[in-house]
């Protein structure tokens, strides 16, 4: 059971439009706060889009996600899970980037997430563009390569852009494999679609054993069947879940920089997360929400709805792990 200090403010008490907006109306507990040792799951903003090759904006994502997250309530209507009752969840604030220096930002993020990991906190990160995931993996895979379930319309496995630029939001997982952070045999990428430059990313995936499930196969087989395979690929080892909002069709998630039409709807966007129940998740993220392309916040609302579903599959595992340790 969680400490009542870590229960969200209820909309029955304080209207949802009121109050300083923290993630899901949880208490704000920065890393240097003494209470940080009580926290089991930390929700963290990663306001950075230094890796974005086309339309920027995800640096503004965490603030809008916090704003919309005030509409999340205490329990999952579909599964009944009440994550905030199970373990102490908190808003850890944002990790600070250097918006004018990619290498420096990668360093800052890696250091920050190492501190999170060392504090025994399971991070749920709100991006930021997809390059944010690389320093998170550098921190979480300190003891060896981990598995990953990756929802996206792109593989993000490219070698480089712009005549040799190796760190963009199209390359994080190429780097992560090269750096030994991911075990490619335990990586599955779901929802891939859109026009392509060439087959270099898919060739690389094949050569190292990453399983790519294109959207046509996804629709043909259905969510349940695809997710059975995804769980098998991830297995029982430590697994990271990376969810790019552009996995979802742009009608449901317009606020993103590289949308690809022909994706899943919002019901499936939640279903795929619910199907992660039982996976050994050691961290997760929701990235590429870009407020400038969605002033109304519809994408952020879907984003935090997905983050809540992630919490609902993470919390029981974290609670169980804590109970046995």
Annotated binding site for Mn(2+): 130, 152, 154, 156, 244, 246
Binders of a second copy among residues 189 to 218 (CB under 8 A) are: 192-199, 214-216
Taking the complex as a whole, how short is the minimal distance between the CB of residue 325 and a second copy, in angstroms?
29
Taking the complex as a whole, how short is the minimal distance between the CB of residue 107 and a second copy, in angstroms?
11
Binders of a second copy among residues 119 to 158 (CB under 8 A) are: none
Judged by CB under 8 A, does residue 302 bind a second copy?
A: yes
Quick one: DSSP state of residue 181?
A: -
**Residue showing tokens 């984003």:** 303
- Single residue of 91, 152, 244, 288 touching a second copy by CB under 8 A: 91
Judged by CB under 8 A, does residue 316 bind a second copy?
A: no
Q: Alpha helices of 122-171 — where are they, by DSSP H?
A: 133-140
Element (H, E) at 212: strand 211-214
Largest CA distance in the chain: 56
Do residues 113 and 140 lie in contact, with contact meaning Cβ atoms separated by under 8 Å?
Answer: yes
Q: Which residues are within 8 A (CB) of 126 and not within 5 positions of it... i.e. 6 or more apart?
A: 23, 43, 44, 45, 46, 61, 62, 65, 66, 285, 286, 287, 289, 303, 307
Q: Which residues are within 8 A (CB) of 97 and not within 5 positions of it... i.e. 6 or more apart?
A: 46, 47, 48, 50, 59, 105, 108, 109
Using the contact rule CB under 8 A, the part of the chain among 117-125, 174-182, 231-239, 245-253 near a second copy is: 245-253
Taking the complex as a whole, how short is the minimal distance between the CB of residue 186 and a second copy, in angstroms?
24
- Single residue of 305, 307, 317, 319 touching a second copy by CB under 8 A: 305
Interatomic CA distance for residues 43 and 23, integer angstroms: 7
Do residues 274 and 314 lie in contact, with contact meaning Cβ atoms separated by under 8 Å?
Answer: no
Taking the complex as a whole, how short is the minimal distance between the CB of residue 121 and a second copy, in angstroms?
17
Binders of a second copy among residues 277 to 296 (CB under 8 A) are: 292-296
Binders of a second copy among residues 48 to 67 (CB under 8 A) are: 49-57, 59-60, 62-63, 66-67
Judged by CB under 8 A, does residue 259 bind a second copy?
A: yes
Binders of a second copy among residues 92 to 111 (CB under 8 A) are: 93-94, 96-102, 104
Annotated binding site: 130, 152, 154, 156, 244, 246
Element (H, E) at 45: strand 41-46
Question: Is cis: bond before 264, omega within 30 of 0?
Answer: no
Judged by CB under 8 A, does residue 224 bind a second copy?
A: no
Judged by CB under 8 A, does residue 252 bind a second copy?
A: yes
Closest to a second copy by CB, 49 vs 244, is: 49
- Single residue of 270, 275, 287, 289 touching a second copy by CB under 8 A: 270
Judged by CB under 8 A, does residue 226 bind a second copy?
A: no
């Amino acid at each position: 059971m969680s400490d009542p200090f870590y229960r969200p403010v209820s909309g029955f008490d304080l209207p949802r439009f009121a109050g300083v907006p923290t993630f899901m109306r949880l208490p704000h507990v920065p890393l240097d706060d003494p209470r940080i040792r009580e926290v089991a799951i930390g929700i963290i903003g990663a306001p950075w889009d230094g890796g974005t090759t086309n339309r920027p904006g995800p640096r503004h994502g965490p603030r809008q996600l916090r704003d919309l997250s005030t509409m999340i309530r205490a329990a999952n209507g579909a599964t009944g899970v009440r994550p905030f009752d199970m373990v102490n969840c908190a808003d850890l604030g944002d990790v600070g980037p250097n918006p004018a220096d990619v290498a420096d930002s990668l360093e800052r993020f890696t250091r920050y997430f190492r501190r999170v990991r060392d504090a025994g906190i399971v991070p749920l990160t709100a991006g930021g563009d997809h390059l944010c995931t690389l320093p998170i993996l550098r921190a979480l895979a300190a003891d060896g390569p981990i598995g990953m379930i990756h929802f996206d319309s792109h593989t993000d496995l490219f070698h480089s852009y712009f005549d040799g630029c190796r760190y963009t939001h199209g390359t994080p997982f190429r780097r992560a494999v090269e750096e030994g952070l991911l075990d490619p045999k335990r990586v599955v990428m779901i929802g891939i679609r859109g026009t392509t430059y060439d087959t270099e990313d898919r060739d690389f995936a094949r050569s190292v054993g990453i399983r790519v499930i294109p959207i046509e196969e996804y629709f043909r087989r259905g969510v349940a069947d695809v997710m059975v395979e995804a769980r098998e690929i991830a297995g029982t080892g430590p697994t990271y879940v990376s969810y790019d909002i552009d996995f979802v069709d742009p009608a449901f998630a317009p606020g993103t920089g590289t949308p690809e039409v022909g994706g899943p709807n919002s019901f499936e966007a939640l279903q795929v997360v619910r199907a992660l129940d039982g996976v050994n998740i050691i961290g997760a993220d929701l990235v590429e929400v870009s407020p400038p392309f969605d002033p109304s916040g519809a994408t952020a609302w879907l984003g935090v709805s997905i983050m809540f579903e992630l919490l609902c599959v993470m919390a029981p595992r974290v609670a169980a792990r804590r109970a046995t340790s």
